Amino acid sequence: MESEKDLKILRHSAAHLLAHAVIELFPKTKLTIGPATEEGFFYDFLPEKNFKEEDLPKIEAKMHEISQRNLKIEHKEISKDEARKIFKDNPFKMELIHEIPGETVGLSTQGNFYDLCRGGHVKYTNDIKYFKLFSISGAYWKANKEGTPLQRINGTAFYSEKELIDYEKRKEDLLRYDHRKVGKELDLFSFHDEGPGFPFFHPKGKVVLNLLIEYMRKLQQELRYKEISTPIILSDELWRQSGHYKHYKENMYFTKIDNKKYAIRPMNCPGSILIYKNKPKSYKELPLRLSEFGLVHRHELSGVLHGLLRVRSFTIDDAHIYCTINQVENEIFNIIKYINIALNRFGFDKISIKLSTRPQKAMGSIKIWNQAIDLLKKSLDKSNIKYDIAEGEGAFYGPKIEFKVQDSMGRVWQLSTIQIDFFLPKNFELSYINSKGEKETPIIIHQAIYGSLERFFAILLEHHKGNLPIFIAPVQVKILTITDDQKEYAIKTFNELKSNQIRIEIDETSDPISGKIKNALNEKIPLMIIIGKKEVENNNLTIRYLDGKQETLTIENVIKKFQNIN
């Protein structure tokens, strides 16, 4: 596989090839810029007459034609005076020439096509063979909404046909397995105009949410967390004291009670803190680990709402650990361990870790920040885990560790977070009595493994392409009878499995078995139990897996199979 840098060279060259084709087809078009991107490349044009999607195949064909001409791609440095002569009719290029520092600029040429360019190309146009244009979108000169409106043609390029095909397949998968589409097909959730950005969970979606909570509750119990629940509406003053009002007001919703201002919580910390403060604490009670499946509301612009991935209300598997400075390292070590257990359980094995340090807009001294960052580094080192440092990407109230996972379609998602907080304990004057009888200020560790349960659900759906792992599938198994003669045996089987906490359904239609199998596959149910005459006679069950493999087992062995899964 080519290195990332080489791919960028290829794609930037493809952008030139695109511009070359456009100029040959539409000579009056004005060129602006054409960089490589993460996913491919684009070129922004000022066309004489707007391009339409129908133009793309024609442009792509012209690109192939120029590629086959196998023109040599050359690059040279020319004086700005010379460049100004060449580009005198193109105000965009003239502006760029003015802005480039130094006395010379780069000029790239292939045949009679030329472009202002920093350089970095393949050698011949025929080196660019595997490319695809996929869309036209609006853009502005220098991405400035006040600037000239342009048209952007988007595409991608690879060094091999296989890579291009894989990429197109992935693009298709992204559409096919979009969680919004799958969620609708499987009747998991919906959105309604009456509550934009607020998800409605249907019965099967709610089963998954409840299973996510149940699984996390078990992990939290192993970590000796104690679950609490606190109100979702709390006084304005509290949010001023916590600093959220100052830093987060634009994303909060407010209400009035008895003519006093209250906020609908965007975070769960202040509620947890009020419980901590409810009684004086001794060092013997620390670390005190309070967890909450806390519903929060945060405003998002309506334009960026995106299924369950970007909502205005969601539940966080939140935890706040109140501890001494000496306990931080061990607490974080344990959390890291459990984050890995959880992410692996849900099928994420490509995990990367980022340690984010002090941002520009931050509370507290640099000294305190450095102390916190050192503790996080120590815990990571002790866990024997590789991590990157992201300078300046911490939250305003403390440094954090973020866990990212790569999903089955190559995308990277930020999930779990651990955050040290020296500031809220001071703001809220938290204290405990140490072993010498003196008052000290505890540290808070904020921590979430799923983060937003709703978002995690969406990522899980897309990662597994709708085929949720059996331990979290809303329906784990469906009974299909060959004919209605097996109905009685099917109901007996249903009741026995159901009483063993297996999530089961019966197909009660009169469809032929092939139709029943097709429906179960569409419903993405991990297992089918097929019952025909033979199974009734032999008092056993035939299991059919997603891949079509079958196996005949006694009912006891089917139950055992599930006990191993759950």
Q: Which of 80, 240, 281, 299 binds a copy of itself (CB under 8 A)?
A: 299
Question: Using CB under 8 A as the criterion, what x/- string covers residues 186-205 for binding a copy of itself?
Answer: -x--x-xxxxx-xxxxxx--
Residues constituting the chain: 566
Question: Which listed range, 83-91, 110-118, 247-255, 488-496, lies at the site for a copy of itself (CB under 8 A)?
Answer: 247-255
If the CB atoms of residues 59 and 311 are measured against a copy of itself, the closer one turns out to be: 311
150/3 Cα distance (integer angstroms): 32
Running DSSP on this structure, what letter comes out for residue 338? H
Question: What are the beta bridge partners of residue 72?
Answer: 124
Q: Rounded to whole angstroms, what are the CA distances from 221 to 31, 210, 291?
A: 61, 16, 10
Of the candidates 95, 92, 93, 97, the one whose C-alpha atom is nearest the C-alpha of residue 81 is 97
The yes or no reply on residue 219 touching a copy of itself (CB under 8 A) is: no
Q: Which of 227, 388, 438, 511 binds a copy of itself (CB under 8 A)?
A: 227
The yes or no reply on residue 275 touching a copy of itself (CB under 8 A) is: yes
Structure tokens at 510: 């009169």
The yes or no reply on residue 516 touching a copy of itself (CB under 8 A) is: no
Question: Which listed range, 37-45, 248-256, 415-423, 552-560, lies at the site for a copy of itself (CB under 8 A)?
Answer: 248-256
Q: Which of 61, 174, 233, 390 binds a copy of itself (CB under 8 A)?
A: 233
The yes or no reply on residue 250 touching a copy of itself (CB under 8 A) is: no
177/395 Cα distance (integer angstroms): 32
Q: Which of 9, 164, 219, 264 binds a copy of itself (CB under 8 A)?
A: 264
Say if residues 121 and 7 touch (Cβ distance below 8 Å).
Answer: no
**Is there a cis peptide before residue 287, judged by omega within 30 degrees of 0?**
yes
Closest contact distance (angstroms) between CB of 216 and a copy of itself is: 13
265/244 Cα distance (integer angstroms): 10
Q: Which of 37, 109, 230, 500 binds a copy of itself (CB under 8 A)?
A: 230
The yes or no reply on residue 290 touching a copy of itself (CB under 8 A) is: yes
For the chain, the first-to-last Cα distance in angstroms comes to 40
Of the candidates 350, 417, 425, the one whose C-alpha atom is nearest the C-alpha of residue 390 is 417
Count of CA atoms in the C-beta half-sphere (13 A) of 42: 17
382/247 Cα distance (integer angstroms): 34
Phi, psi (rounded to 5 degrees) for 446: -90, 140
If the CB atoms of residues 155 and 270 are measured against a copy of itself, the closer one turns out to be: 270
505/491 Cα distance (integer angstroms): 10
The yes or no reply on residue 368 touching a copy of itself (CB under 8 A) is: no
The yes or no reply on residue 237 touching a copy of itself (CB under 8 A) is: yes
Conformation bin of residue 487: beta by default, left when phi > 0, alpha when psi is -120 to 50: alpha
The yes or no reply on residue 257 touching a copy of itself (CB under 8 A) is: yes
298/429 Cα distance (integer angstroms): 26
If the CB atoms of residues 256 and 436 are measured against a copy of itself, the closer one turns out to be: 256
Kindly state the number of chain residues that form the binding site for a copy of itself, as judged by CB under 8 A: 50
Closest contact distance (angstroms) between CB of 233 and a copy of itself is: 6
The yes or no reply on residue 176 touching a copy of itself (CB under 8 A) is: no
Phi, psi (rounded to 5 degrees) for 465: 50, 45
Q: Rounded to whole angstroms, what are the CA distances from 455 to 176, 253, 390?
A: 18, 21, 23
382/385 Cα distance (integer angstroms): 8
The yes or no reply on residue 279 touching a copy of itself (CB under 8 A) is: yes
The yes or no reply on residue 313 touching a copy of itself (CB under 8 A) is: yes
If the CB atoms of residues 12 and 312 are measured against a copy of itself, the closer one turns out to be: 312
If the CB atoms of residues 92 and 562 are measured against a copy of itself, the closer one turns out to be: 562
Closest contact distance (angstroms) between CB of 304 and a copy of itself is: 13
Question: What are the beta bridge partners of residue 356?
Answer: 390, 400
The yes or no reply on residue 283 touching a copy of itself (CB under 8 A) is: no
If the CB atoms of residues 235 and 406 are measured against a copy of itself, the closer one turns out to be: 235
Closest contact distance (angstroms) between CB of 200 and a copy of itself is: 5
The yes or no reply on residue 238 touching a copy of itself (CB under 8 A) is: yes
Beta strand 477-481 with 504-506 is: parallel
If the CB atoms of residues 295 and 513 are measured against a copy of itself, the closer one turns out to be: 295
The yes or no reply on residue 244 touching a copy of itself (CB under 8 A) is: no
Helix (H, G, I), strand (E, B) or coil at 382: helix
Say if residues 19 and 43 touch (Cβ distance below 8 Å).
Answer: yes
91/85 Cα distance (integer angstroms): 12
408/462 Cα distance (integer angstroms): 8
391/373 Cα distance (integer angstroms): 11
The yes or no reply on residue 144 touching a copy of itself (CB under 8 A) is: no
Q: How many CB atoms lie within 10 A of CB 10?
A: 24
Question: Which listed range, 63-71, 296-304, 372-380, 392-400, lies at the site for a copy of itself (CB under 8 A)?
Answer: 296-304
The yes or no reply on residue 294 touching a copy of itself (CB under 8 A) is: no
Q: Which of 34, 183, 271, 398 binds a copy of itself (CB under 8 A)?
A: 271
Closest contact distance (angstroms) between CB of 330 and a copy of itself is: 19
If the CB atoms of residues 297 and 400 are measured against a copy of itself, the closer one turns out to be: 297
Closest contact distance (angstroms) between CB of 321 and a copy of itself is: 14
If the CB atoms of residues 302 and 384 are measured against a copy of itself, the closer one turns out to be: 302
The yes or no reply on residue 226 touching a copy of itself (CB under 8 A) is: yes
Chain positions contacting a copy of itself, by CB under 8 A: 187, 190, 192-196, 198-203, 206-207, 209-210, 226-235, 237-238, 253-258, 262, 264, 270-271, 274-275, 278-279, 290, 295, 297, 299, 302, 312-313
